[in-house]
Amino acid sequence: MGEAGATLARRRPNTAIETQREALTVWQPFTDELLTHWLETAGPGPVLDRAPDDAWKERGATLLRRYRELAANHTLCTAHRDPKENAGILRCALEETVAGRPLAPRQLGLLRHAVESMVRKRGRPGSAGHTELRTRQAAQAAQPSHHAFAQLVLHRLPALAQHTGAADTAPLTAAVSPHEAQRTGLPAGAVVPAPVRHVVENALSAPLGTLVERGVVPSAEVLAELVPQLVASTGAQSYRDEALCTLTAAHYRAFRNRRSLLLLDLARQVRADELPWVRATAAYRTADGRHPARTALTELGELGELGELGELAVQAFPGTLLPNPLIRELGLLARQAEVDAPFVEELAADTFTPSSPPPPGSRRDCSKAPCTSAITASTTRRSAVSRPRRRANRGPGPRRASRSCAPSVPARSGAATAGP
């Protein structure tokens, strides 16, 4: 839950959405007031067909003072400042008229064109079509932001332990209660949106099958990140002391989170059971602690945890090459349960050198034909074929038949020849 809380805390208001909200709730209603004010001077003809009186100018001055207040308090939307926009044309013309200066012919033409286009597009302010449009836009602008919902869910999280997942995420993503509506200003009964709800659902603590079914585990790579938690709890069952059991499980999880390296000459990194503090606690294992996975295998059926995990990986992600971390955990469970099943990880060809011995289980005689030479030659040729050389654009016209762009790779003495 700690990671879910950190993700929700990092969510900030969307500037584009807040700008649109400000335009719908502040500037469009003010522009409608400017349009209504100018239409008072239209009469049977265009605007300013009648000379405005002093009362009209006084109301215009009030509108201009309110505009300056709105511009100082609402700074996200800047379209109203553009003198080429309709709102800017109406405001600039009002400033000139209130000041007692006559409008230039060009400015008067711009004013009349802006008023006519606005009325033609949306109707006169107060008409049925215009009122319906503004009502619909106001309802859209009144919808709460995802940031507000994220703060609401974040306020619900401290009641749970931050270092573990949640057994049930339904209370965390429930609709807004009346008490929360009074505190946050959100409408009572509002539903938490999906982007915020998914953050909390990813912190669900449930069996792997449930997590895969709900889409919390979307790939075999994510599944491989969760499997060490199961293996850690299984291996810790061999300790009777509860504190030592918790420490062993936490150590295994931390050890699996370390950074892995690709080493040459079949070298490997240190294993968890080779660490000195792990060897020091080995004396406190129970008599049957040599096979801590046997109990889990018995409880879960014929194949138990090992079979269930393998079946889940194959059925949930068919046609996907299982990642090496997942194969490594499956092999560890098999060794702990004394199951004679080989789990072979994918080999990286770039980690072999000509002096390397063959991989375990290989029948190739390295003294006669080094297996690494064939791997290197095959890899080089395959890479060359997959990246053909680019030719300059010679323009239209006939072209010569292109030759194979794969370079010739000489095979070493005794090595298999790459290519056809």
What band does 266 get if pLDDT is binned at 50, 70 and 90?
Answer: low
Which pLDDT score, from 0 to 100, does residue 162 have? Answer: 66
What band does 271 get if pLDDT is binned at 50, 70 and 90?
Answer: confident
Q: Which of 165-174, 314-323, 342-351 has the highest mean pLDDT?
A: 314-323
- pLDDT-wise least confident of 77-81, 205-209, 375-379: 375-379
Estimate to the nearest angstrom the gap between the alpha carbon of 261 and the chain centroid. 27
Average model confidence (pLDDT) across the chain: 77
- Quote the tokens at residue 373: 């030479």
Nearest Cα residue to 326 out of 313, 308, 342: 313
Burial label for 209, CB within 10 Å (0-12, 13-18, 19+), is middle
Which pLDDT score, from 0 to 100, does residue 122 have? Answer: 93
Task: Extract long-range pairs of 249-255: CB within 8 Å, 24+ residues apart.
Answer: 251/277, 251/278, 252/228, 253/228, 253/229
Which pLDDT score, from 0 to 100, does residue 413 have? Answer: 36
In sequence order, which residues have a C-beta less than 8 Å from that of residue 106 and are 6 or more positions away?
Answer: none
Which pLDDT score, from 0 to 100, does residue 350 have? Answer: 62
Q: Does the structure show a pLDDT above 70 at 205?
A: yes
Q: Does the structure show a pLDDT above 60 at 150?
A: yes
Which pLDDT score, from 0 to 100, does residue 352 have? Answer: 60
Q: Does the structure show a pLDDT above 70 at 399?
A: no
Residue 18: in which H helix or E strand, if any? helix 15-22
Which pLDDT score, from 0 to 100, does residue 290 have? Answer: 43
Whole-angstrom Cα distance, residue 375 to residue 353? 10
Whole-angstrom Cα distance, residue 15 to residue 175? 25
Q: How many other C-beta atoms can be found within 10 angstroms of the C-beta atom of residue 168? A: 9
Q: Does the structure show a pLDDT above 70 at 297?
A: no
What band does 370 get if pLDDT is binned at 50, 70 and 90?
Answer: very low
Q: How far is CA 206 from CA 245, 289, 300, 308, 353, in A?
A: 21, 27, 16, 15, 45
For residue range 247-265, list pLDDT tens digits in order: 877 877 788 777 777 777 6
- Quote the tokens at residue 382: 């395959």
Nearest Cα residue to 37 out of 58, 18, 17, 22: 58
Which pLDDT score, from 0 to 100, does residue 16 have? Answer: 94
Nearest Cα residue to 76 out of 5, 138, 26, 40: 26
Whole-angstrom Cα distance, residue 94 to residue 89? 9
Residue 265: in which H helix or E strand, if any? none
Which pLDDT score, from 0 to 100, does residue 355 have? Answer: 56
Q: Does the structure show a pLDDT above 60 at 25?
A: yes
Estimate to the nearest angstrom the gap between the alpha carbon of 120 and the chain centroid. 44
Report helix, strand or coil for 354. coil
Q: How many other C-beta atoms can be found within 10 angstroms of the C-beta atom of residue 358? A: 15
Predicted TM-score (pTM) of the model is 0.59
Which pLDDT score, from 0 to 100, does residue 20 have? Answer: 95
